[in-house]
């Protein structure tokens, strides 16, 4: 018998470097399934439907909500984001670990429904630095930047709800910490099956 | 203010590869203080007093026990092993993390006195493989090998008392897991100080 998969939930403000950390981590770690989110937000240049996001119209998104097809869904700065439930359940049953990227409200909903989820918070070195990064990215309007900063402040105030905190002051360090958390959790004794211990002892 | 140091306790049977894992880990990880044990066992060829062990006579060892100078001490296969208390307390106060290597009885005593200790178990792939390694090492008599194997079996039965389990089937993997556990624990939100969060939020 195989152990069930571990669900990792990653939260952090826009501009904090989540995508970069995640991509580096995914290329270093085996058997980690990245859950693709659904969203109604505008497709940015270079983004592919079905790679990081499924881009849906508001109508299609509402239809999936009605069918209870999301593990969680939430409104974030005027756009809708949702986590399709079925592929996650399937991966966990197969014994694969799953990585979710969610904002705070969604992360809380997942933790409520699946309390074994491991919660990872990615923090910017300071809020000042986060603001600088958001302006450097130049994808958002001033109003959206202000909303994102206010949201970031709220998230940081909730940091103790998370199991792990990574401060992304140096990318290499942050990537190493992220992959270490996943590697270490896989060694946690709470996932040991009695059958594994028994099999081991019988081999004397 | 700095956070207090984290105490890591590592346990595993003789021959399981603890020393190799530890040496590789210590050369990869900063700010980790390795606690030097005291022992009455015979000094093996190449072993230096004060490097991995302090080698004491039984009389000297008893004197330290009387002065309550050990965090724990225990009899293991006829030899005495002890963990000097003062240097560990000092390192933890300085905010340094400390790594202890202990057999099961000692590890339990430390966990009792310092419940925040993070417990790491190093397991051989199988007991058959452990026996092969012990014979390959050729430092022990047949009677001692049998005692060590019986002890290993008892330790494995206690594996759920540990936070993490590393199966040393491939050295590179085991070292990576060991360093990952230390890196990940350092990211645990339980060590976050309120002052860190406040400082961060004020910088907006």
Domains and CATH numbers, chain B: 7-35+96-202 (3.40.50.300)
Q: How confident is the model at residue B1 (pLDDT cuts 50, 70, 90)?
A: low
pLDDT tens-digit map of A28-66: 898 999 999 899 999 999 999 988 899 999 999 999 999
Token readout for A137 is 């990215």
Contact B192 A159 (CB under 8 A): yes
- Rounded Cα distance between B174 and B171, Å, is 5
- Which of A149, A180, A187 faces B166 most closely, judged by CB atoms? A187
Averaged pLDDT score across all residues of chain A: 90
B108 three-class SS: helix
Contact B127 A181 (CB under 8 A): no
- Rounded Cα distance between B189 and A163, Å, is 5
> Looking at the predicted structure, is the pLDDT value of residue A182 above 50?
yes
Answer for the pair B193, A160: CB distance below 8 angstroms, yes or no: no
- Rounded Cα distance between B142 and B148, Å, is 10
Answer for the pair A77, A15: CB distance below 8 angstroms, yes or no: no
Count the neighbouring beta carbons within 10 Å of the beta carbon of residue A63.
12
Distance from CA of B160 to the nearest CA of A (A): 6
> Looking at the predicted structure, is the pLDDT value of residue A204 above 50?
no
Contact A201 B156 (CB under 8 A): yes
Identify the pLDDT of residue A1.
64
- Rounded Cα distance between A108 and A102, Å, is 9
Distance from CA of B153 to the nearest CA of A (A): 7
> Looking at the predicted structure, is the pLDDT value of residue A203 above 80?
no
Identify the pLDDT of residue B17.
87
> Looking at the predicted structure, is the pLDDT value of residue B62 above 60?
yes
- Rounded Cα distance between B52 and B105, Å, is 19
Residues of B in contact with A204 (CB under 8 A): 127-128, 131, 149, 153
Q: How confident is the model at residue B151 (pLDDT cuts 50, 70, 90)?
A: confident
Residues of A in contact with B3 (CB under 8 A): none
Torsion of CA A19, A129, B96, A180, to 10 degrees: 0
């Amino acid at each position: 018998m195989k152990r069930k998969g571990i669900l990792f939930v990653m939260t952090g403000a826009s501009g904090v470097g989540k995508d970069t950390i995640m991509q580096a981590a995914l290329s270093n770690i085996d058997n980690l399934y990245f859950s693709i989110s659904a969203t109604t937000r505008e497709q940015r240049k270079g983004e592919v439907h079905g790679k990081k996001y499924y881009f849906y119209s508001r109508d299609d998104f509402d239809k999936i909500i009605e069918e209870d097809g999301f593990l969680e869904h939430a409104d974030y700065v005027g756009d809708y984001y949702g986590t399709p439930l079925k592929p996650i359940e399937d991966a966990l049953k197969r014994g694969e670990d799953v990585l979710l990227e969610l904002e705070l409200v969604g992360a809380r909903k997942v933790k409520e429904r699946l309390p074994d989820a491991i919660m990872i918070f990615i923090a910017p070195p300071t809020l000042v630095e986060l603001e600088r990064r958001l302006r450097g990215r130049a994808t958002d309007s001033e109003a959206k930047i202000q909303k994102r900063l206010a949201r970031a402040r709220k998230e940081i105030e909730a940091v103790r709800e998370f199991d792990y905190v990574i401060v992304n002051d140096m990318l290499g360090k942050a990537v190493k910490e992220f992959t270490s958390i996943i590697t270490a959790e896989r060694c946690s004794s709470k996932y040991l099956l009695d059958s594994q211990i028994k099999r081991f002892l019988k081999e004397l």
